[in-house]
Amino acid sequence: MAFQKEILFTGAATALVTPFAADGGVDYDAFGKLIDWQIAGGIDALVICGTTGEGSTLTDEEHKECIRFAAEKIAGRVPMIAGTGSNDTEYAYQLSKYACDVGADALLLVSPYYNKATPKGLIKSFLDTADRVNKPIILYNVPSRTGVNIPMSVYRELAKHERIIATKEASGNLSQVAEIAAELSDTLAIYSGNDDQIVPIMSLGGMGVISVLSNVLPRETHDICAKYMAGDVIGSRKLQLDLLKLINSLFIEVNPIPVKTACGLMGLCSDSMRLPLCEMEDKNKAVLIEAMKEAGLLH
């Protein structure tokens, strides 16, 4: 059966870092340059204020301004997806409504974290927002951070909603991804949430990836997806495997510490982060630098 809902994008979306200035605030000049560099590099969509964008330590005002600024800067050149999920469902709705009002093309809603939820609570929480906004929603399943997996019983119910169009699957569980694809392929698009699983998930019908890697290699991450979509499975797989050492080094410490460090080393933006995130351990930074050199990012 053909996919019955809007496909927001195929390919690679960058879960974009949020640059900070010397005074600790958001560096909007660097943010704008990053957005332009990503689009010039061939990226297919941008996710603002997600996990990689340190959305959890932005103030409410900063979170909103980052979304507004990005929507204005992107200006329709690629789809802009705003990270608006929260463990407070009402806050998630309020932030989602704001994002819709200022021009986001879609919302990325992580499952409620810390307080967690039963399957019934997950369904009620996601539908509470979906029923009240007017833009498409991508679910975000990342049990390593939230403490709860979105099970098939929940996916079945949520896929019925006209505005819930996709999931970012970062469970690492390819068997679950296969189940989603087998049962819901006509109503729920799948994006890999892990850079080391782009090709495996696309082989199960995935539409692409929401990526950390593409912060530093937008063209190559796009190409992994584009080659696969064009039928060049061998070329796509080779590029995925050639970049595996760099991918692994970008997760040698909790994301976004390594990728923010990599952006700093490349001169894309400051490598500063907000506590509880902090600078990399020297031994891990050395591994990252070596992987970046092998990938041609540093000399």
**97 noted as active-site residue:** no
- Helix or strand (DSSP H, E) at 44: none
- Determine which one of 64, 73, 135, 168 is catalytic: 168
- Determine which one of 93, 140, 191, 228 is catalytic: 140
CA 63 to chain CA mean position, Å:
16
| pTM of this structure | 0.96
Q: Which amino acid is at 43?
A: I
Q: What is the token pair recorded at 198?
A: 């782009």
Per-residue pLDDT tens, the chain, 299 aa: give them: 566 788 999 999 999 999 999 999 999 999 999 999 999 999 999 999 999 999 999 999 999 999 999 999 999 999 999 999 999 999 999 999 999 999 999 999 999 999 989 999 999 999 999 999 999 999 999 999 999 999 999 999 999 999 999 999 999 999 999 999 999 999 999 999 999 999 999 999 999 999 999 999 999 999 999 999 999 999 999 999 999 999 999 999 999 999 999 999 999 999 999 999 999 999 999 999 999 999 999 98
Q: Which CATH number fits domain 11-232: 1.10.1040.10, 1.20.1300.10, 3.20.20.70, 3.50.50.60?
A: 3.20.20.70
Domain residue ranges of the chain, discontinuous segments joined by + = 11-232
**168 noted as active-site residue:** yes
Pairing of β 11-15 and β 45-48: parallel
Place of tokens 């495997």: 241
Exposure string over 173-183, b if 16+ CB within 10 A, otherwise e: ebebbbebbee
